[in-house]
Structure 1
Amino acid sequence: MRLRPPRLTDGMEITAVHAEGLATGHASFRAEPITWVEFDDAYSIALVAEDHGAVMGWAALSATSPRDTYAGVGEVSTYVGAQAARRGVGRALLSRLVTDSETQGWWTLVAQIFPENPGSLALHRACGFEVLGTRTRLGRMTHGPLAGQWRDVVMMERRSRRAGLD
């Protein structure tokens, strides 16, 4: 497995991995998988995990706010394809994303995870994220088998021990 920056030619595979996550109903409020253009525009830092030329997963970081006060605070997204589940792909991606973010001066990373996604919760804990609390009935699903249901979201945060200390 190799971690590297995403390329335009990865777009279809990035979308496919995202679609697999969305199909579970426990990955995002989004109804449609991300397109390459959306992906490329949305994230300040992004990585893909590649094995034998195929994208197995991706992790990315976007700013939580355009305000200068929050420069260095970002939200992470991590998706791993079903064929790569439980092979350490998510941990490799998120660990590297954390390291890269600190190198670039990001001091706080946040993740919003459905409580029904224990794998993602465990992954983030393993990478140094702590639970801040649960946002009850944060949003209502608009699609899929859970359409119309209010969903809780677990808020997790990771504070850098290197960046943002000055």
Structure 2
Amino acid sequence: MNGERSAEHQPVTIRDARESDLQAITDIYNQAVVAGGSTADLVPRTLEQRRQWVDSHQPRDRYPVVVLEDASGRVVAFGSLSKFHPREAYDGVVELSYYVDERARHRRYGTAMVAWLLDAARTRGYRIATALIFASNAGSIALMNHFGFERYGFLPRACFDGTRYLDMSYWWLPLDND
């Protein structure tokens, strides 16, 4: 499922990730690792580790990994739908995640990516979308609220980043596929 969405009145393309996108995916993810507050990884990931992460999304037609290209064709964000839990009874629930290049933030690329991921989840017949977000990540929490997600859980002091404890918030959105 590929498509175009508008972000800040500029055409963007959201498409399936390719091998040639791995470096951009790794770079964008590692920005989040270094900055903290968006991922529980504490050490930047290698290209091979990110390749394994992309490859773990199987089958790909159910669990896509996609990139968002800006109007110039540069990859500025990526996102995915991931298995919520390995037990079969959870197959109707999917977890979404997304990361935006720090130089491309505040241009509605995150909004475009989450909209695409939610459309993809509905098209694939998922009942519920979930997201795990650090409670201090105001931008992602605002985005969840924008799309109508509700917080269903809060785990205080869930992660230690080497200097501080971070609380985790859990979000869900019914996808009205029943």
TM-score, normalised via structure 2 length = 0.82
The Cα shift of 1:148 comes to: 5.3
- What is the aligned-residue identity percentage? 28
Q: Which residue number in structure 2 is paired with residue 45 of structure 1? A: 64
1:76 aligns with 2:76: no
8 Å Cα contact 2:94-2:130 kept in structure 1 = yes
> Which one of 77, 81, 95 corresponds to residue 61 of structure 1?
81
1:3 paired residue number: 14
Taking structure 1 as the reference length, the TM-score comes to 0.88
Distance, in Å, in 2 between the alignment partners of 1:72 and 1:17 is 29
Show structure 2 runs of 5+ residues with no match.
Answer: 1-11
Task: Tell me if the contact between 1:12 and 1:36 (Cα under 8 Å) persists in the aligned partners.
Answer: no
AA in 2 matched with 1:23: V
Distance 2:52 2:88 in 1: 25
Displaced runs of 4 or more, over 6 A = none
Cα separation, 2, equivalents of 1:133 and 1:105: 24
Partner of 1:101: 121
Question: Which ranges of structure 1 fall in alignment gaps of 5 or more residues?
Answer: 142-146
